[in-house]
Amino acid sequence: MDLKTTPVEKSRISEVDFESLDFGRIFSDHMFEMVWDKGSWGEPQIKPYGPISFAPALNVLHYGQAVFEGMKAYYVNKETINLFRPEDHHKRLNQSCWRMCMPETDYEIFIAGLEKLLQLDTEWVPRKKGRALYVRPLMFASEEYIAARESGRYHFYIMTCPVAAYYNEGFNPVTLTTPDKFVRAVKGGTGEVKTAGNYAASFRPAREAREKGFTQVLWLDAIENRYVEEVGTMNIFFLIGDTLVTPQLSGSVLNGITRRSVIEIAKKENLAVESRRITIDEVLEAGKKGQLREVFGSGTAAVISPVRLIHHAGQKIDIGDGNIGPLAKKMFDTITGIQYGELDDPFNWTRPVKITNKSKISQTE
């Protein structure tokens, strides 16, 4: 597909210090844009990344009709950049659109936009292992009209930003606490999709958890306040005895793509893996009995995030020796090995993008 393209006159890349990348603050030269108006999508295009102008009546600012995705592209070698499970991310984006009453997009256009961005901004894909190009598709209601109903116009963007290695100085296990009075999502609500308001609503509980000295919130279900759901931007796994347990997708948990990858690896390795309801009491009980061998989160940003402590209602459980456990490490090594093209990809998760503009690759490896 030949996309209308307006390249930048001058790249900003020489201003970027790849040794100190701040997540989500530095954006590559180009972005993808497509506008939905009067019932259909307009012509997709690639243009320089930069400000867009809207009036304060912009619908999304008032009613929050916005969805997004978070995925990554990985440098393999001078000829190849790997996208990780782009079809799954696109499918989830469409599910989010459906829930939020927004127009869906075609995978062909989405992937053509992504590939074109990677061809144009190859130079922005960090070369060092651990670093990656974060890809952020975003759609929002762009009618300038303040009425609490679905918008008649939507803007869809894909922007990318080079990001640092999540673990620069070894794994940094996190601590989690369950919230006293807040809930994240309820079945039938919007918790299972990636819509902006879910995150806005999580900031107050996240701040309170930090003020109490914990890294993140461990969410419980909103009805009985007992079943573990997920963490801020991660799904959660418990290795209890020899069984890997993760909360089932209850309708209020995000269907994480890294979660799915962990489950698929566990199955391939013949490890007992259960996606089921699990109460916080069961987790604490397993901890007290010495059966809780490992706890880790899974998500695009960190891939695998070891947990060293869980706090709930005045009780604290230490997990393992405070370092990453062998299973979490194996999951991390397997997934990142596949992402960077170092390991075979028996699952067909990666989509290699062949770089045709080779002269552009000049960053040192």
Q: Is 228 in the site for ligand PLP (CB under 6 A)?
A: no
Residues 6 or more apart whose Cβ sits within 8 Å of residue 210: none
Cα–Cα distance measured from residue 260 to residue 39, given in angstroms and rounded to the nearest whole number: 34
Residue 155 to residue 328: CA distance in whole angstroms:
39
Work out whether 230 is an interface residue with ligand PLP (CB under 6 A).
Answer: yes
By CB under 6 A, is residue 233 in contact with ligand PLP?
A: yes
Q: Which residue has the tokens 């306040």?
A: 225
> In the complex with ligand PLP, which residue's Cβ is closer, 63 or 199?
199
Nearer Cβ to ligand PLP (302/309): 302
- Taking CB under 6 A as the criterion, the residue among 59, 300, 334, 339 binding ligand PLP is 300
Question: What is the amino acid identity at position 184?
Answer: R
Q: How far apart are CA 135 and CA 235, in angstroms?
A: 20
Taking the CB of residue 138, how many other CB atoms lie within 10 A of it?
Answer: 17
Q: Which of 209, 234, 265, 266 binds ligand PLP (CB under 6 A)?
A: 234
Shortest Å distance, C-beta 172 to ligand PLP: 18
Give the list of residues 6+ apart from residue 286 with CB closer than 8 angstroms, or none. 238, 240, 241, 292
277: which 2 tokens?
A: 């309801």
Specify the DSSP element, H or E, that contains 118. Answer: helix 107-120
Q: Does 302 bind ligand PLP (CB under 6 A)?
A: no
Nearer to ligand PLP, 218 or 280 (CB): 218
Q: 3-class SS at 181?
A: coil
What does each C-alpha distance from 343 to 26, 158, 293 come to in angstroms?
A: 30, 28, 27
Report the DSSP beta bridge partners of residue 272: 243
User: Of the listed pieces 50-58, 134-142, 143-151, 249-257, which binds ligand PLP according to CB under 6 A?
Assistant: 249-257
Considering only the stretches 31-39, 152-160, 231-239, 345-353, report the one whose residues sit in contact with ligand PLP under the rule CB under 6 A. Answer: 231-239
HSE-CB at 304 with a 13 A cutoff on CA atoms is 28
What is the number of other CB atoms lying within 10 angstroms of the CB of residue 60?
18
**Considering beta carbons, is residue 13 or 236 the nearer one to ligand PLP?**
236
Is 137 among the residues that bind ligand PLP (CB under 6 A)?
A: no
x/- track of binding to ligand PLP for residues 171-210 (CB under 6 A): ----------------------------------------
**Sign of the alpha-carbon dihedral angle for 137, 143, 146, 147:** negative
**Cβ at position 230, least distance to ligand PLP in Å:** 5
Which residue number, 86 or 299, has a Cβ lying nearer to ligand PLP?
299
- 215 belongs to the binding site for ligand PLP (CB under 6 A): no
Residue closer to ligand PLP (CB basis): 11 or 252: 252
CB closer to ligand PLP out of 257 and 273: 257
Conformational region of residue 225, where left means phi above 0, alpha means psi within -120 to 50, and beta covers everything else: left
Place of tokens 């601590």: 175
Q: Which is nearer to ligand PLP, 154 or 219 (CB)?
A: 219
Lookup: tokens for 103: 């127009």
Rounded CA-CA distance 6/123 in Å is 17
Site for ligand PLP in 257-296 (CB under 6 A): 257-259
Of residues 13, 117, 139, 254, which one binds ligand PLP by CB under 6 A? 254
* Distance in Å, CB of 88 to ligand PLP, minimum: 8
Comparison of 91 and 128: residue with beta carbon closer to ligand PLP = 91
Does the footprint of ligand PLP cover residue 216 (CB under 6 A)? Answer: no
Q: Which residues bind ligand PLP (CB under 6 A)?
A: 70, 230, 233-235, 254, 256-259, 298-300
